[in-house]
Amino acid sequence: MGLIKGLAIGGTVTIVVVVIIVVPTVLLTRQEADFQETFMEKCLKFPEEKQVCESKWAAFEQAYVGKDECNITEENYKLLFDQTPFKHPCGKTMFWSKTPDLVHKYTEKRDCLFSLEDTLLGYVLNHLKWCGKLGSKEYIGRSTDKLKTANDPRIVAKTFTENCQECKLNPVDVFWKIASTKFALHACDGASVMLDGERPEPYDSNSFFGGVEVPNLQPPRVNNLTVVLVNPENGKNCTCESLGNLRKDLDQKIGCTCRAVAKSHVEKCIKESTPCGACW
């Protein structure tokens, strides 16, 4: 808003423009508020208690806010994962590669198999994107308030959900790599994996399953891996040796069993709520 005043100096009228800047109230950005709200809603729906969800949010946020978004390490998320160990029965661990929709529909209403996305952090952060910016700060008080110190608690770092850089050590990829590692380390007895038999190479050594989870399966804690190879009606040969590098990548102390199953049969099991063991 500007005020225009006229001053007469030596018979000449000089126009002076006085500009008054009105600073609006600075709140969390809409995208940031939506992200935090989504985190809390999904945590409470898991279900979990409110105070637990608030604690998870605080531990999660401190991992990346105000930090270099391309230099996030396992240490950043240590507090979060220390507070959130896996609790599902370790003998019911279900991995997947290139079959997210089918495996999640299958495990959604069952307590016999658990994918990473069926655990608290996996469920809450699935499909979300986030990052921080080095040194980013924002004042969340009212514009009429006065800052008392540079360490005023109303000065906070921000969460960004847009314009996050695609770099190797970004907070999203690092989170999922740590989560996948710990998920594999939690597995015991028999574990399962659902692979896509329609792909030329159902097993990919460079996928999260092949590159992160397989190397972290610990024998003798894990003694067998069951491969569920989902095919069209006429599927591929189903042996662990036929799945490219799987048998080579898998520790020889871990047994491997392959079961071919038609996709339509899995979908029927989902529809009819067939018990896990009866589907393959």
Instruction: Express each pLDDT in 201-251 by its tens digit.
Output: 999 999 999 999 999 999 999 999 999 999 987 667 799 998 989 999 999
User: What pLDDT does residue 274 have?
Assistant: 86
131 flagged as catalytic: no
Q: Are the CB atoms for 249 and 214 separated by under 8 Å?
A: yes
* Residue 277 pLDDT exceeds 70: yes
pLDDT class of 22 with cuts at 50, 70, 90: very low
Model pLDDT, residue 86: 97
Is the pLDDT score of 136 beyond 80?
no
Query: What pLDDT is attached to residue 213?
Result: 98
Residue 193 is assigned to a structural domain of this protein: yes
Number of domains in the chain: 1
For residue 7, tell me if it sits in a domain: no
Phi, psi of 135 (to 5 degrees): 75, 5
Contact between 172 and 130 under an 8 Å Cβ cutoff? The reply is yes
The pTM of this model reads 0.82
Supply the pLDDT for residue 9. 47
- Domain annotation covers residue 103: yes
| Candidates 43, 70, 188, 256; catalytic one | 188
In this structure, what DSSP letter does residue 146 have?
-
Question: Is 225 in contact with 254 (CB distance < 8 Å)?
Answer: yes
pLDDT of 60 above 80: yes
Residue 158 within a domain: yes
Whether residue 240 lies in the annotated active site:
no
pLDDT band, residue 154 (cuts 50/70/90): low
List of E strands, the chain = 2-9, 12-19, 94-97, 138-139, 155-156, 189-196, 222-231, 255-262
41, 153 in Cβ contact below 8 A? no
Residue 129 lies in a domain: yes
Per-residue confidence (pLDDT) for residue 229, from 0 to 100: 96
Mean pLDDT of the chain: 86
The CA distance from 137 to 191, in Å, is: 45
What pLDDT band is residue 142 in, cutting at 50, 70 and 90? low
Q: What own/partner pairs with CB < 8 Å and gap ≥ 24 does 113-119 have? A: 113/192, 113/276, 114/88, 114/89, 116/179, 116/180, 116/183, 118/88, 119/86, 119/87, 119/88, 119/183
- Nearest 5°: phi and psi at 26? -100, 120
Query: Residue 82 belongs to a domain with what CATH number?
Result: 1.20.82.10
Domain that holds residue 258: 24-279
pLDDT of residue 193 exceeding 60, the answer is yes
Catalytic residue among 90, 164, 240, 279: 90
| Residue 127 maps to a domain | yes
Q: Is residue 130 part of a domain?
A: yes
Tell me if 235 is assigned to some domain.
Answer: yes
* pLDDT at res. 206: 94
Separation between Cα atoms, residue 168 and residue 73, nearest integer Å: 10
More confident of the two residues 169 and 134: 169
Q: What would you measure as the largest C-alpha separation in the chain, in angstroms?
A: 100
